[in-house]
């Protein structure tokens, strides 16, 4: 099989030769390096490779070229090789243009010239891009096929579960020829959605646990006792799993749905340290998950925790579907879920036009339609920017008089620069209606109501912690957030088993050996970076706790 190709295009002959030289020196054994000195030659070369069936792993294009600039070149190349990693070569003076290109062509990285020495400034970037390309599902695979109805909530749940757990699948409607054939083959009375595995096994309207087992996700613990149990697979939980396993603790992470939590639904996170080009929530979650597994952490998916009980020195966690595991310590990192929108008629359309969170699987279906988003925080802004690339218009509905109090400045600027995003301040959704799916919304702006045609509503409001399962074991505030550290006060006095201490003991709950990290913790800063930091700090406190046992 021919080597995959790395394409480099630069109209400066000296720079062009230098790029090709550095690429061949490091990657020549595994990749074919193709160099072009004009944008037109580069496009012709890419077209020829596409006709020959060559694989292109990465495309490096200079920003300043006379025929078309690097952004235009990469945009044209995307149509031929959508999975190739896109890197813009730019001078420092053009950095702003490179940052703008991140949203225009979904740029993967921009590289400042010069990059001497390449071992420090060039190769680490290209290594990361090639690694990402190798892990990308580039060929449409039919091993796992999902057949369902367009406006079926259960079909959406199956597709969303597979997508957020990085399981490739082919989606088809039941009325499509191939979909109809599969439904007929499954037998009379087939219940949709229908999932067909690579070996021909059929699953009719499967629950999450059955689906997880069928696609090879780990659902059964390897043992019944661990050093550390992490409950929740968002940024805080993944951070705790990485640090716990890397520091020698026998660690298991239990996640009810998919790794990444709310952050995993973000189309692009641009203010996370170390990712100047931004990173999608799924990419960040996938990297963290693989990192945790590399260090030996065990990850259980589709297992819902419903109880926590101290038994002597052990902390025992019980599952909804039966069974339990125990550990010396437990870190609660269950995060939060988006609050339901309290408007008549909406609940019946959840998964059928109304979605809580980004629901990235639905974005292509939004093409050339108008989309409504409720929320004013970063998650809503990121969704608006992402969906603007599909929808004809995105309406961002904000209850307050502006975005400045709740959204990062960089996102506000991006939204203002995108012509098909319209921000509606002091506007709320007060009703929804439709037949088999959402068809209309009733909006209220400063007390005046109007009805609009709408098939898509994405909601990003509030935050509700999933902590009711803790019962009376762990202290929580009135909203259900876990109380820790200085916030733990009972009748004006701290619990006897939590003596007065200084920082960094602020993550400890009222139960020794049980800590809380991330959004589930009362008074925490609701940010990805702070959640990861708290997950790491919680592991340090676990070590201190274990040393005293």
> What would the mean pLDDT of 357-372 be, rounded to a whole number?
87
pLDDT in the model for residue 78: 83
With cut-offs at 50, 70 and 90, classify the pLDDT of residue 492: very low
163 has pLDDT over 60: yes
Q: What is the pLDDT of residues 3-42, one digit of tens each?
A: 999 999 998 888 899 999 999 999 999 999 999 999 899 9
**Residue 20 to residue 124: CA distance in whole angstroms:** 16
pLDDT in the model for residue 103: 62
Domain 346-461, CATH: 3.50.50.60
Contacts of 511 (CB under 8 A, 6+ apart): 308, 310, 315, 473, 474, 497
* Residues 348-363: b if buried by 16+ CB within 10 A, e if exposed: ebbbbbbbbbbbbbbb
pLDDT in the model for residue 94: 64
Task: Quote the percentage of the chain above a pLDDT of 70.
Answer: 93
Q: What is the pLDDT of residues 304-330, one digit of tens each?
A: 999 999 999 999 999 999 999 999 999
With cut-offs at 50, 70 and 90, classify the pLDDT of residue 105: low
Task: Quote the percentage of the chain above a pLDDT of 90.
Answer: 58
83 has pLDDT over 80: yes
Mean residue pLDDT of the chain comes to 88
> What would the mean pLDDT of 373-402 be, rounded to a whole number?
93
> What would the mean pLDDT of 141-153 be, rounded to a whole number?
84
Where does CATH 3.50.50.60 sit in the chain? 225-337+464-547, 346-461
Q: Which CATH class is domain 145-215?
A: alpha beta
With cut-offs at 50, 70 and 90, classify the pLDDT of residue 502: very low
With cut-offs at 50, 70 and 90, classify the pLDDT of residue 115: confident
Q: Which CATH class is domain 225-337+464-547?
A: alpha beta
Strands (E), 149-297: 170-173, 194-196, 202-204, 225-231, 251-255
Where does CATH 3.40.30.10 sit in the chain? 145-215
Where does CATH 3.40.50.2300 sit in the chain? 5-137
CB 38 within 8 A of CB 44: no
Contacts of 330 (CB under 8 A, 6+ apart): 228, 229, 230, 231, 308, 315, 317, 513, 514, 515
pLDDT in the model for residue 493: 42
Q: Which CATH class is domain 5-137?
A: alpha beta
pLDDT in the model for residue 500: 44
pLDDT in the model for residue 491: 38
Q: What angle do CA 499, 502, 508 make, to 5 degrees?
A: 60
> What would the mean pLDDT of 456-463 be, rounded to a whole number?
90
Q: Is the pTM of this model over 0.95?
A: no
pLDDT in the model for residue 462: 77
> What would the mean pLDDT of 47-70 be, rounded to a whole number?
86
Contacts of 496 (CB under 8 A, 6+ apart): none
Query: What are the backbone angles phi and psi of residue 379, rounded to the nearest 5°?
Result: -60, -40
């Amino acid at each position: 099989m021919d080597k995959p190709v790395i394409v480099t295009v630069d109209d400066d002959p000296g720079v062009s030769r230098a790029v090709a030289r550095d690429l061949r020196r490091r990657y020549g054994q595994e990749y074919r390096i193709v160099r072009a000195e004009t944008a037109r030659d580069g496009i012709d070369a890419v077209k020829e490779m596409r006709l020959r069936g060559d694989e292109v792993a990465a495309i490096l294009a200079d920003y300043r070229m006379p025929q078309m600039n690097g952004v235009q070149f990469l945009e044209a190349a995307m149509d031929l090789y959508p999975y190739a990693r896109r890197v813009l070569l730019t001078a420092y003076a053009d950095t702003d243009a490179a940052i703008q290109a991140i949203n225009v062509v979904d740029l993967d990285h921009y590289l400042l010239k010069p990059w001497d020495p390449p071992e420090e400034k060039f190769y680490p970037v290209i290594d990361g891009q090639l690694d990402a390309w190798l892990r990308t599902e580039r060929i449409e695979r039919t091993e796992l096929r999902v057949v369902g109805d367009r406006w079926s909530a259960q079909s959406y749940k199956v597709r969303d579960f597979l997508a957020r757990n990085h399981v490739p699948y082919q989606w088809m409607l039941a009325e499509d020829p191939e979909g109809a054939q599969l439904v007929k083959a499954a037998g009379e009375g087939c219940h949709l959605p229908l999932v067909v595995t690579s070996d021909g096994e059929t699953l009719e309207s499967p629950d999450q646990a059955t689906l997880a087992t069928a696609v090879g996700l780990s659902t059964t613990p390897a043992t019944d006792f661990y050093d550390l149990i992490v409950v929740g697979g968002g940024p805080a939980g993944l951070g705790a799993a990485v640090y716990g396993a890397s520091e020698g603790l026998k660690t298991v992470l239990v996640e009810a749905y998919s790794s990444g939590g709310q952050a995993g639904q973000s189309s692009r996170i641009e203010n996370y340290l170390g990712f100047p080009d931004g990173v999608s929530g799924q990419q960040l979650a996938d990297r963290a998950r693989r990192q945790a597994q590399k260090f030996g952490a065990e990850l259980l998916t589709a297992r819902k925790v419903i109880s926590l009980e101290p038994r002597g020195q052990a902390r025992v966690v019980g599952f909804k579907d039966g069974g339990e595991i125990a550990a010396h310590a437990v870190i609660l990192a269950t995060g939060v879920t988006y609050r339901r929108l309290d408007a008549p008629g909406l609940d019946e359309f959840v998964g059928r036009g109304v979605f809580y969170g980004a629901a990235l699987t639905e974005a292509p279906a939004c093409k050339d339609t108008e989309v409504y988003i409720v929320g004013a925080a970063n998650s809503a802004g990121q969704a608006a920017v992402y969906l603007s690339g599909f929808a004809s218009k995105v309406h961002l509905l904000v209850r307050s008089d502006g975005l400045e109090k709740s959204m990062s400045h960089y996102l506000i600027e991006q939204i203002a620069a995108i012509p098909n995003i319209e921000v509606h301040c002091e506007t709320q959704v007060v009703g929804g209606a439709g037949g088999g799916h959402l068809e209309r919304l009733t909006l209220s702006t400063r007390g005046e109501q109007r009805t609009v045609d709408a098939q898509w509503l994405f909601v990003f409001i509030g935050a509700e912690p999933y902590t009711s399962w803790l019962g009376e074991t762990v202290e929580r505030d009135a909203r259900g957030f876990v109380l820790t550290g200085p916030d733990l006060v009972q009748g004006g006095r701290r619990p006897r088993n939590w003596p007065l201490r200084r920082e960094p003991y602020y993550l400890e709950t009222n139960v020794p050996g049980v800590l809380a990290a991330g959004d589930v913790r009362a008074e925490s800063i609701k940010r990805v970076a702070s959640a990861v930091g708290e997950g790491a700090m919680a592991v340090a406190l676990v070590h201190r706790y274990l040393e005293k046992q």
